[in-house]
């Protein structure tokens, strides 16, 4: 399992570079490791910067789907936004309300290097925005209100 780096590590604040070769051994090995780590930590998304890799790659585990999103570009966002609670594996035990677009369209490469277009709404749209923020060095605490610590 991969080690998740936590705030305030400076890697989390860097803008990530595009993945040049999706089919490289390094990337193809990294994808299942990220998926396994995300699931083991009970996350719904995990971005490469969270494991110390400043590349534009994240994975999403949502309902029955496992998505691999490489070099994403959000090309359309709804005008409507909504507040909802978010947390982050890199900021353990903190939650807050974040305002995000209700729906979006994203273009990206899948794990096979094929260009995809996905329309997402609700939780999936929120996860894509949260993980894309990671690729730009933005954390949910930068946008959240009513931050709270959850102590177990």
- For residues 72 and 132, the answer to whether their CB atoms sit within 8 Å is yes
Cα R_g (the chain), whole angstroms: 15
82 as an active site residue: the answer is: no
What Cα–Cα distance (Å) separates residue 48 from each residue in 28, 38, 40, 57, 96? Answer: 13, 11, 16, 6, 22
Q: State the sign of the Cα–Cα–Cα–Cα dihedral 60, 62, 64, 69.
A: negative
Number of Cβ atoms within 10 Å of the Cβ of 125: 23
Gap between the terminal Cα atoms of the chain? 23
Number of Cβ atoms within 10 Å of the Cβ of 136: 13
List 33, 36, 85, 131, catalytic entry? 131
- For residues 97 and 144, the answer to whether their CB atoms sit within 8 Å is yes
Catalytic site positions? 131
């Amino acid at each position: 399992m991969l080690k998740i780096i936590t705030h305030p590590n400076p890697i989390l604040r860097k803008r990530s570079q595009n993945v040049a070769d999706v089919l490289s051994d390094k990337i193809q090995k990294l994808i299942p490791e990220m998926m396994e780590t995300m699931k083991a930590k009970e996350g719904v998304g995990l971005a490469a910067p969270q494991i110390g890799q400043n590349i534009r790659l994240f994975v999403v585990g949502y309902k029955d789907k496992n998505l691999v999103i490489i070099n994403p570009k959000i090309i359309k966002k709804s005008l409507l936004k909504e507040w909802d609670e978010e947390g982050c594996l890199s900021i353990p035990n903190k939650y807050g309300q974040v305002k995000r677009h209700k729906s979006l369209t994203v273009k990206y490469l899948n794990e096979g290097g094929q260009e995809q277009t996905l329309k997402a709404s609700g939780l999936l749209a929120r996860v894509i925005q949260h993980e894309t923020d990671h690729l730009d060095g933005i954390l949910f605490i930068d946008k959240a209100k009513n931050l709270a610590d959850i102590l177990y």
